[in-house]
């Protein structure tokens, strides 16, 4: 009876839930639970057995965000996450956790415990390198993004998916926090690092040309139902180990521009690069620079190949169309790399790659590297065609800080 009406679970409740509602542990097993979530929105319970090697994750959505009660959010995001993970495991096998159960009353999903992996952002802060990352993330993005477009899907089936994954509240968060608030000093929830307050006023809030571009981009985000995007593909949404990458947390998913995902990956590699740059770790810098170039170039290569194999739309096969289409994706990628690059410095949701930098001057420089690159990514988005072009934006910014 206890789980027939929604409530936000404690660790003890989660153990009871696992015993009562999941077919996973044996009845006589002794279970331990730890709430391990450090994200902005949900509660993550890790439950493991004292008697066996077995463990499981239960992710529960509450009616408000963890980061602030001000964000009232439909727990339907848990359904979206469950359904997307199911779909992504078919499109990109091995690159997402296995999901076992979804409970629409308790708004929770039971899924594979990935404790042998580590959150990628943590590993970036520890200056760790992962040879397979560019390969895995480019495969994940090309498969999940291109295969859910009108290029590769029956158009009516795609429109059904657009309906099924309408996600207005989570989209509103991105519309506000990514596209609007970082560029205005009116009605924002920004949290700017003290020594950069004046720089932000002079270079972001007062830059009318930049603001105009962000308005255009916001309307593209709201109106381009291109493919089923992850919607929050930062390094905190990636579990990694040497030979495996798992993409988690697709609760922001909806039909939007695919450059949103690719741009998020690039921006979050940039945060790691800014960290390695000001903390002077040459080896880490080199790996990150190569990875940024590879993510873009492998994405392009795999995208064109998969297009040839899977495009079913008649007009998509016209000569020159796939190159035109890919160019628009790279343009959107650059723009979002810029928006994410700025909002994680100026907005309410910061990233640890930057906030853990203790030395004030070093943090100021890392933040400016991201913000200057961010502005150039947005303003010069039509020019960027290769991985090297993307990296050069960051290298140029380095000269200015
Ligand atoms: C209120 S949520 C703040 C941020 O956390 C999520 O991970 C998204 O990136 C969102 O913008
Ligand atoms: Mg998340």
- Break the chain into its structural domains and give their ranges: 2-112, 118-400
- Whether 204 lines ligand 1, by a CB cut-off of 6 Å, is no
Ion ligand 2: residues, CB within 5 A, are 39, 249
The ligand 1 atom nearest the CA atom of 343: 11
What's the CATH fold of domain 2-112?
Phosphorylase Kinase; domain 1 (3.30.200)
Q: Lowest mean pLDDT of 50-54, 66-70, 151-155, 313-317, name the range.
A: 66-70
Given this model, what pLDDT does residue 65 score? 86
- Whether 173 lines ligand 1, by a CB cut-off of 6 Å, is yes
CA distance 378 to 375: 5
Q: 68 C-alpha vs ligand 2 centroid, how far in Å?
A: 14
- Whether 40 lines ligand 1, by a CB cut-off of 6 Å, is yes
Average pLDDT, the chain: 96
The ligand 1 atom nearest the CA atom of 174: 11
pLDDT at 389 over 90: yes
Handedness of CA 330, 220, 367, 355 (dihedral sign): negative
pLDDT at 342 over 90: yes
Least Cα distance to 270 among 395, 130, 117 occurs for 395
The ligand 1 atom nearest the CA atom of 41: 2
Q: 349 C-alpha vs ligand 1 centroid, how far in Å?
A: 6
Q: Lowest mean pLDDT of 39-53, 264-278, 385-399, name the range.
A: 39-53
Tell me what percent of the residues of the chain surpass a pLDDT of 90. 94
Please, which residues have CB within 8 angstroms of residue 164's CB and are 6 or more apart in sequence? Answer: 83
pTM of the model: 0.96
Residue nearest to atom 8 of ligand 1 (CA): 232
Given this model, what pLDDT does residue 86 score? 97
Residue nearest to atom 11 of ligand 1 (CA): 174
Q: 237 C-alpha vs ligand 2 centroid, how far in Å?
A: 6
The ligand 1 atom nearest the CA atom of 178: 11
pLDDT at 71 over 90: no
- Whether 177 lines ligand 1, by a CB cut-off of 6 Å, is yes
Given this model, what pLDDT does residue 48 score? 97
Degrees, nearest 5: CA angle 333-240-256: 30
Q: 235 C-alpha vs ligand 2 centroid, how far in Å?
A: 10
CA distance 348 to 28: 45
Given this model, what pLDDT does residue 286 score? 98
- Whether 67 lines ligand 1, by a CB cut-off of 6 Å, is yes
Residue nearest to atom 9 of ligand 1 (CA): 232
Given this model, what pLDDT does residue 74 score? 84
Helices assigned H by DSSP within 116-190: 120-125, 133-141, 155-164, 168-174
Give me the helix-helix angle, 387-400 and 321-346, nearest 10°. 30
Q: What secondary structure letter does DSSP report for 250?
A: G
Give Cα 129 to chain centroid, integer Å.
19
CA distance 232 to 375: 20
Average pLDDT over residues 190-204: 98
Could you tell me the CATH superfamily of domain 118-400?
Aminoglycoside phosphotransferase (APH), C-terminal lobe (3.90.1200.10)
153-189 pLDDT, tens digit each: 999 999 999 999 999 999 999 999 999 999 999 999 9
The ligand 1 atom nearest the CA atom of 348: 3
Q: 177 C-alpha vs ligand 1 centroid, how far in Å?
A: 8
- Whether 197 lines ligand 1, by a CB cut-off of 6 Å, is no
Given this model, what pLDDT does residue 66 score? 82
């Amino acid at each position: 009876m206890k789980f027939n009406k929604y409530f936000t679970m404690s660790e003890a409740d989660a153990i009871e839930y696992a015993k009562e509602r999941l077919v996973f542990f044996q009845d006589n097993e002794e279970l331990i639970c730890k709430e391990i979530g450090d994200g902005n929105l949900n509660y993550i319970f890790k439950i493991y057995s004292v008697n066996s090697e077995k463990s499981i994750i239960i992710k529960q959505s509450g009616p408000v965000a963890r980061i602030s009660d001000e964000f009232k959010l439909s727990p339907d995001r848990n359904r979206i996450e469950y359904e997307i993970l199911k779909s992504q495991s078919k499109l990109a096998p091995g690159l997402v956790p296995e999901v076992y159960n979804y409970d629409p009353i308790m708004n929770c999903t039971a899924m594979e415990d990935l404790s042998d992996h580590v959150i990628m952002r943590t590993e970036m802060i520890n200056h760790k390198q992962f040879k397979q990352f560019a390969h895995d993330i480019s495969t994940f993005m090309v498969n999940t993004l291109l295969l859910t477009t009108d290029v590769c899907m029956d158009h009516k089936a795609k429109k059904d998916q657009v309906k099924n994954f309408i996600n207005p509240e989570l989209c509103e968060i991105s519309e506000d926090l990514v596209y609007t608030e970082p560029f205005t000093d009116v009605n924002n929830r920004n949290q700017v690092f003290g020594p950069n307050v004046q720089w932000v006023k002079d270079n972001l809030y007062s830059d009318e040309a930049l603001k105009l571009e962000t308005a255009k981009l916001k309307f593209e985000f709201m109106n381009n139902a291109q493919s089923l995007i992850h919607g929050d593909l930062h390094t905190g949404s990636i579990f990694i180990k040497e030979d495996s990458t798992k993409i988690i947390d697709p609760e922001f998913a909806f039909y939007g521009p695919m450059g949103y995902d690719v741009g998020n990956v690039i921006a979050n590699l940039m945060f790691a690069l800014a960290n390695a740059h000001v903390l002077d770790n040459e080896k880490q810098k080199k790996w990150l620079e190569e990875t940024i170039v590879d993510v873009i170039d492998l994405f392009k290569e795999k995208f064109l190949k998969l297009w040839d194999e899977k495009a079913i739309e008649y007009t998509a096969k016209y000569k020159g169309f796939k190159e035109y289409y890919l160019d628009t994706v790279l343009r959107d990628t650059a723009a979002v790399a810029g928006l994410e690059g700025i909002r994680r410095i100026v907005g309410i949701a910061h990233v640890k790659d930057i906030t853990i930098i203790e030395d004030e001057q070093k943090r100021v420089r890392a933040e400016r590297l991201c913000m200057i690159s961010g502005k150039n990514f947005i303003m010069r988005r039509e020019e960027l065609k290769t991985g090297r072009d993307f990296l050069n934006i960051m290298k140029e910014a380095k000269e200015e800080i």
